[in-house]
Structure 1
Amino acid sequence: MNKDYTQLAVWIEGQKLIVLIDSFTKRNPKKELCDLSSQIRRAVTSVSLNRTEECGRPASDNALQYLHTAGGSLYKLEKQLDWSLGQNDISRADFDKVTSKILICKKLINGFINYYKKIDNEK
């Protein structure tokens, strides 16, 4: 993909997700900084890094691998947030806000996956 990836909706929405996650994990108690909050920050970072790496890959096979990894990280992030909600580390309002952003990111990543699959089918 030759387009500047920072202009793509999938990248822009992912950056918004990172900022949102960062804002609520910083509010968690100090004991959480090495635990679930840290895992949540790593998961959201994985989404962003895999999307970015996908943009630098010329072959759709490699791109699909990174997109699937990014999508998997979104599912992992969703489960971690569910645990946080159960432990009262995140409010219902924050949970709903973040999960709606995750849904947007999932749809955008799935759109890219379908795009690359279509390219492969046309070969």
Structure 2
Amino acid sequence: MAGEIKSYRDLMAWQKAYVLGKQIYALAGKLPDVERFGLMASLRRLSYSVASHIAQGCGRGNTQDYVWFLKQARGELYKLDTQLLFALDFRCIEETDYESAKSFLDESERVFAGLIRSLGG
């Protein structure tokens, strides 16, 4: 059946988080070396954290845990948003890179909100 969810990888929220993660990871690599252990490390950790929370929640086997992990992932999106703004304000990234990431981040958040709502969270 088309559209059937067999794995967390079939979820639009996970797919968007995965693409966002790759985008953020690459963007973090553009930061100056002085940020290697600061903002760069933090952005890179967050880059894979969002998709990982979705996968972990999906594997829990019950809706309440799943929604909890989705909310954790959404919190990580907000953290990403804040850290990207710091990177922009500190002139570590270009405004075009920020706008591109922010647009995708906002789209991901809308998908998350819809999924959480649909699960009663």
Global fold match (TM > 0.5): yes
The alignment status of 1:53 with 2:45, answered yes or no, reads no
Equivalent residue of 2:119, what SS?
helix
79, 85, 88: which is aligned to 1:76? 79
Q: Unaligned 5+ residue runs, structure 1?
A: 119-123
| RMSD over equivalenced CA pairs, Å | 1.4
Scaled by the length of structure 2, what TM-score is found?
Answer: 0.90
Q: CA deviation at 1:17?
A: 0.6
Q: With the length of structure 1 as denominator, give the TM-score of the two structures.
A: 0.88
Unpaired runs of at least 5, structure 2: none
Residue of structure 2 equivalent to 1:43: 46
> Could you say which structure has the higher helix fraction?
1
Instruction: Please list the CA deviations of residues 68-100 of structure 1 after superposition, one character each: whole Å capped at 9, or x if unmatched.
Output: 100000001100000000000111000000011
Asked if 1:102 is matched to 2:111, the reply is no
Note if contact 2:81-2:105 (Cα within 8 Å) is conserved in structure 1. yes
How far did 1:32 drift?
A: 0.9
1:14-68 deviations in Å (ceiling 9; x for gaps):
1111111122111212111110111111122221111111111221110111011
Matched position secondary structure for 1:34? coil
How do 1:1-123 and structure 2 match up within 5 A?
A: 3-117=6-120
**SS, match of residue 36 in structure 2:** helix
